[in-house]
Amino acid sequence: MSSFKDVEMKVVRWGEDRGIIQNSTPLAQFEKTIEEVAELNAALQANDKAAIIDGIGDVLITLTMICGILDLDMTQCYEAAYNEIKDRKGFLNKDGIFIKDV
């Protein structure tokens, strides 16, 4: 199995080969992300594991396109988010959502 970084670089090259990185905008790719999140939601509602895997992948691809356009590194963004939450305290509510302490 490839590392996350290896796949990220393949996706960036794919986006460059198709002119997405050079010619799209972060906002256009954000709109695409919203479409893909809606498809992921439908897959989750249907409990369709194959569609869930595809949906998560599609969301990651659109986020990677945003990073490519902005010359950001997806792994750095992921790590920055982790560093923000790693020491966070809170609780899981009855709906399964983590509520952070303020």
- Structural contact between residues 43 and 59, judged by C-beta atoms closer than 8 angstroms: no
Mean pLDDT value across residues 55-74 = 97
What domain count does the chain have? 1
Angstrom distance (rounded) from CA 47 to CA 95: 17
Higher per-residue pLDDT: 63 or 4: 63
Express each pLDDT in 1-32 by its tens digit. Answer: 889 899 999 999 999 999 999 999 999 999 99
Range of the domain at 37: 4-100
Burial of 6 (0-12, 13-18, 19+ CB in 10 A): exposed
Mean pLDDT, rounded, of the chain: 96
Q: Which of 37, 15, 13, 10 is nearest to 26 (CA)?
A: 15
φ/ψ (deg, to 5) at 79: -65, -40
Query: What CATH code is carried by the domain that includes residue 74?
Result: 1.10.287.1080
User: Is 48:5 a contact under the CB 8 Å cutoff?
Assistant: no
Q: What is the pLDDT of residue 102?
A: 84
Residue 33 pLDDT exceeds 90: yes
Q: pLDDT value at position 87?
A: 95
Region 86-99: mean pLDDT is 96
